[in-house]
Amino acid sequence: MSQILVIDDEVGIRELLSEILIDEGHDVATCENATTARIWREARRPDLVLLDIWMPDTDGVTLLREWAANGLLTMPVVMMSGHATIDTAVEATKIGAIGFLEKPIGMQKLLAAVRQGLERAPKADSALSLAAFPRSAALKDLRRRLEQVAAKSRTVLLRAPAASITELAARTLQIVGKPWLDLGHDSNPLTLETLAQASGGVLFCGELARLTRLQQKNLAFALERLERHNLRLVAATALDAAALAAQGWEEEVLNRLFEISVGLPSLAELKDDVPDLATHILAQLVEAGEAPARRLSVAAQNALRQHPWPEGYAQLRSTIKSLALAALDEEIGGEDVQHLLAPGAAAMPEIAPGLLPGMLALPLREARELFERLYFEHHLKLEGGSMTRLAEKTGLERTHLYRKLKDLGLRNASKDGEE
């Protein structure tokens, strides 16, 4: 029995399609809009989705794009509409829809589309991209820059520090369902047959400086044939052209690669986006069956935010996977993160010698004030001065928190650190 999700704002259409599909032996779930569909999809994966294009809250094409960006487009999707244009249908197909049904939908066409959709193999390579983070101004702007450059060039060079988000940025230029070929992972000569099979996809290189001589030749070979095989090359490096030339790279190849480039931020520069990145990575791992169902606590997210991530996105993904596999509870706690990233590190700052006996000798009110000052100084530093996160951490209402900090002489009552 196949699980089919029908998403349409018209109750009559939902009931009619459900009736037909249930009679055919399918298990059918329905959603009346994109909001309920998002919630349903996050909890489970259907075998097929019938998705209406025109809905009142969010249109079907936008929802399809969200799923693709979040690595959730792992099931076949058939679009439905009574008045969609050809351009809209083509756009949906490019994003990852496998078919289109025009309303009113005939029973034979419906059953044929469902049968063909269920026969399709699930998409094996649905990776996160920058499109999954529309709330981050930095990531949203970076995505726009990448797409603008890619619209004019088949070659994009990412000037990226070692601790960057290279693969996440590169995946933004991959069309859902199209091949992804990592030139840095193959030590065999690249052939015309391989390029033909990768048509429409992305050739990727995470760091030019790490390529062997053979892999450099593979890249040069592909560079001359991008147009012919409808390919895009996305390469990255932390070095300049002179440093790569000193490693033996051909000048002509370097000139081609460095003709158009885009700078990437380090993961440390995206500190406040780390919790969102981590949450999406975890959801993707669970969806792909690589990790059990887990969620990150607020404390865990804060601990991840504070880590410097010297190895960038790959290190973050590896950490999230390790946390998910090793966690004893469904919720991953702050202690889990601390034990993995800083084993043996103390959760609280050391108390200076003699301070504790001195505190015990003080009147209760003075001892409490001294402890509270230490407590809030520690957490202000840990949360980078963010009042929002400090309020979450301490469990205090914002007005009470400001008053408490003022009384302790740690900051004035103005909301200068509010985030």
pLDDT tens sequence across 327-336: 999 999 988 9
Fold type of domain 272-341: Helicase, Ruva Protein; domain 3 (1.10.8)
CATH number of 130-263, picked from 3.30.420.40, 3.40.50.300, 3.40.50.720, 3.30.470.20: 3.40.50.300
For residues 167 and 264, give the distance between their C-alpha atoms in angstroms, rounded to a whole number.
11
Taking the domains of the chain in order of start, what are their residue ranges?
A: 3-119, 130-263, 272-341, 355-408
CATH number of 355-408, picked from 1.10.10.60, 3.40.50.2300, 3.30.210.10, 1.10.3720.10: 1.10.10.60
Residue 258, CA atoms < 13 Å, CB-side half-sphere: 17
Most confident by average pLDDT, 317-331, 334-348, 371-385: 317-331
Residue 101 sits at φ, ψ, to 5 deg, of -115, 130
Mean pLDDT of the chain: 87
SS3 210: helix
Query: Class for domain 3-119, per CATH?
Result: alpha beta
Which pairing describes strands 27-31 and 295-296: parallel, antiparallel, or unpaired?
Answer: unpaired
For residues 199 and 178, give the distance between their C-alpha atoms in angstroms, rounded to a whole number.
8
pLDDT in tens, 63-110: 998 888 777 888 899 999 887 677 888 888 888 898 899 998 999 999
pLDDT in tens, 27-73: 999 999 999 999 999 878 899 999 999 998 889 999 998 888 777 88
Whether 130-263 and 3-119 are alike in CATH topology: the answer is yes
**Residue 222 above 90 pLDDT?**
yes
With vertex at residue 59, the alpha carbon angle to CA 56 and CA 62, rounded to the nearest 5 degrees, is 150
